[in-house]
Structure 1
């Protein structure tokens, strides 16, 4: 269960307004600070100067406001240089405004178009990249710079789960990858780096398992479109290895994601991110995620991190990420970080939005014009289900609908339930379903 926090945020600095309204200007998508400024200006941001702790407090407050407005904490206990935002994707009316989507159906269709029509990323010089304003190579204790959190009282240690791994070029078959990997930096600049079996990062790890360590970056506080694409997963017929996920993020925002060459490794970071960890993934240097599991020398028994499906995850031995540099926006600007509670609307919306579009595109490839919309409701726990809405034209369309369902299961690891309904059924109403 999520912990409750003893102190709630103060009243918003500006009056909150209706979440629905006109779309955001394109430049509001350039960076997380630009988006925060738009949210503040539009009355869509809860903001507080009350100090928040990452030890249960932040996620407790987030859960209390689950599905509501984004929350900005201007003071973070133990991290004077950090401002933390959460519930960033919790309210899809706000998300639709941010990306210019008219409604839920338009969102799925336009995002499916973006997945298949990427805009190539732009590489900029370090002098033009906010994430390169400070480059640290001597004091590399990651937990001093990156704000970790503890989600529940069951966890024995803190987690950094808000970072997005980025692999660009040859190490990702010529394309670009962005995704989530939970980390625990128990050894200063060396942390566990958990990888979901079958995921794109798992494919990278498998290919280079016997080779040299893999150079990559882990980015924090990214432009919203990059964060959105990082939530896609296990939809690899539509987003295959070697695909251009950062290019798809560029298509979502309407202009290229900017990349910058890492300072210490042969890799790239998102130039408009707030923080970046540069380093090497060591697939064969596997270590326990918690001291408790290490002491017992047992995997899969002790609690560590809540999982997307709502159950309590366990600590395992994981590959390690060895950090060679920490880069960030100037600390005097107090860069943002986006820590995210698990199994809340914030997490759920990031994980399901791209996935819905991928199912739509999959069906559209099988028989164009038959699929009308896709929804993955909260009780389907992100990756375990989907609802397909079809608009049948002929009796023979029933065969294609069966193909849709078969393809959904065949192309989606972890899928347990797929439902197909006609266009007169409201797929956003569980009573109708």
Structure 2
């Protein structure tokens, strides 16, 4: 029986299914782990069992890169339907549960803390400012109101043994707290490494703001997705909670903004950030991230499991956001559903949209009165997800999981004079996008695009696609199973899509 409430239970199941590649030879956290993960991107989960300098730890990578094994883990038949399981979790959350004892506190270290010496934090590339940790999930509880939980991913650089820089974009929930509502306060926090997979997916999601607003119970969404409450335990040294089934937990404080620190020694010496010069590490947009002056994280305790704690190495500029985008897709679907119920059929965030840069809506126009709702949805999506640069709407006859079919729709259905929509400039965006201007410590919005690639309802008969009778034949009448599979292996993604639909 599979256990999805801990990373160990999930890995045990995935290993039984042949989804884990065990790396038994020694690997160095400096470049080697990152190089192996990048080489096997969108491949199996990697389990590093012999880490140079860290004999008591395991490390995993590529955990969320492919949706198929995660769908199997959570008993969803079609990986593309996992978003609808998250839609249900949004509507039916299961609040977290407080427990007294927890696996994450089997070992508690409060003295002589030296995080870089304790944990196998990697160096991603030769351009990096140091060994950057992107794997910890920051947990805040009861910040805006009683019962709220905010869990997130943010880059952390330990410039000292027990203190680090932590970058939080203002448009995020933790960022709004750090920049605005609690900017002058010392905030208790925990950083949870390898919590239950559902919590990790929620932490990696860049939520649509009005669907998951400030003060939401994000762990309740994770609980709803996994079908059981996320268990929390009181932290040992700060007034905060840790995720009980996490592998490793850092307890500590976000220091007030008056104690902000630069993310690298180079930027500190310069006293300024220089785009393209003061590089930090690879960011999700696909470019090197710039070093900023950010909040300081002080660590008061490190707790962990006793037997072989499992670290997690995620490549920020990699493709692990394939599963982090599941909840984001769900929030976009819910946004569309609230604007016009039943109008949006499906939502997809392909790999090429790099986690937070775009979204594709598939819609069904059933009557003339519904014409135009796709534009309401497109502009709402751009405004409600600051920093997103592209939103596309297509009809039901377009395969939103095939880039070629989406490009065909853009080419054949978009009138450049009427169907390319833009939001106003100088709205808030995110500074990770190189094209955006840095303004007063945050990104400025320098333009996003929406493409209405749907058929005009009153001219829909002009856009009739052909339908070849693939559904009326059985290829096994003429070919063996082996021959069919061999031909399908030869076909391009677009060829397989058209062969499946007959278009």
Same fold by TM-score greater than 0.5: yes
Q: Which residue of 2 aligns with 1:377?
A: 350
The 1:143–1:289 alpha-carbon spacing in structure 2 relative to 1, beyond 3 Å, is same
How far is 1:234 from its partner?
Answer: 4.2
Counterpart CA distance in 1 for 2:388 and 2:290 is 21
1:101 aligned onto 2:76: yes
Aligned to 2:317: 343
Matches within 5 A, 1:267-346: 267-284=240-257, 285-300=259-274, 301-330=277-306, 333-346=307-320
SS of the aligned residue for 1:318 comes to strand
| Whole-Å separation in 2 of the counterparts to 1:192 and 1:171 | 23
Matches within 5 A, 1:34-433: 34-125=9-100, 127=101, 129-170=102-143, 174-205=147-178, 206-211=180-185, 213-284=186-257, 285-300=259-274, 301-330=277-306, 333-346=307-320, 348-433=321-406
1:110 Cα deviation from its structure 2 partner: 1.6
Does structure 1 retain, via aligned residues, the 8 Å contact 2:134–2:316?
no
Preserved contact between residue 231 and residue 354 of structure 1 (Cα < 8 Å): no
User: 2:219–2:230: 8 Å Cα contact kept in structure 1?
Assistant: yes
Cα distance change, pair 53–356 in 1 and its aligned pair in 2 (3 A): same
Unaligned runs of 5+ residues in structure 2 are 407-503
Q: SS of the residue aligned with 1:362? A: helix
Q: CA deviation at 1:418?
A: 0.9
Q: Which string of whole-angstrom CA distances, capped at 9 and with x for unpartnered residues, describes residues 144-192 of structure 1?
A: 2222111111113111111000011145664101001111111211111
Tell me, yes or no, if the aligned pair for 1:132 and 1:327 is still in contact at 8 Å.
yes
Q: Which residue of 2 aligns with 1:16?
A: none
- Say whether the 8 Å CA contact 1:105–1:373 is kept in structure 2: no
Once the two structures are TM-superposed, the CA of residue 409 in structure 1 deviates from its matched residue by: 1.3
Residues 322-341 of structure 1 deviation map (CA, whole Å, 9 limit, x = unaligned) = 111111101xx111111111
- Tell me how many residue pairs correspond in the alignment: 402
Q: Which residues in structure 2 correspond to 1:18-29 (within 5 Å)?
A: 25=1, 27-29=2-4
Q: Distance in 2 between matches of 1:160 and 1:171?
A: 27
* Distance in structure 1 (CA, Å) of the matches to 2:168 and 2:142: 20
Pair member with larger Rg:
2
- Corresponding residue for 2:461? none
Residues 241, 363 of structure 1: CA spacing in aligned structure 2 closer, same or farther, 3 A cutoff? same
- CA distance in structure 2 between the partners assigned to 1:220 and 1:40 by the alignment: 20
**1:296 to partner: Cα distance:** 2.3
The verdict on how the C-alpha distance between 1:401 and 1:104 changes in structure 2, with shifts beyond 3 A counting, is: farther
- Per-residue CA deviations over 1:47-73 (Å, capped at 9, x if unaligned) read 121111111111111111111110101
SS at match of 2:83: helix
Q: Distance in 2 between matches of 1:401 and 1:297?
A: 46
**Would the aligned equivalents of 1:172 and 1:241 in 2 still touch at CA under 8 Å?**
no
**Which structure has the higher relative contact order (CA within 8 Å, separation 6+)?**
1
1: distance between equivalents of 2:323 and 2:294?
Answer: 24
Q: Contact 1:147–1:160 at 8 Å: present in 2 too?
A: no
Deviates most, 385-394 or 104-113: 104-113
SS in 1 for 2:371: helix
Per-residue CA distance 1:205-254 (angstroms, 9 max, x = gap) = 1211123x000100001110000000111411111111111010011110
Q: How far 1:351 sits from its partner (Å)?
A: 3.5
Counterpart contact for 1:279–1:322, Cα < 8 Å: yes
**Retained in 2: the 8 A contact 1:282–1:321?**
yes
CA contact (8 A) 1:384 1:414 kept: yes
With normalisation by structure 1, the TM-score equals: 0.90
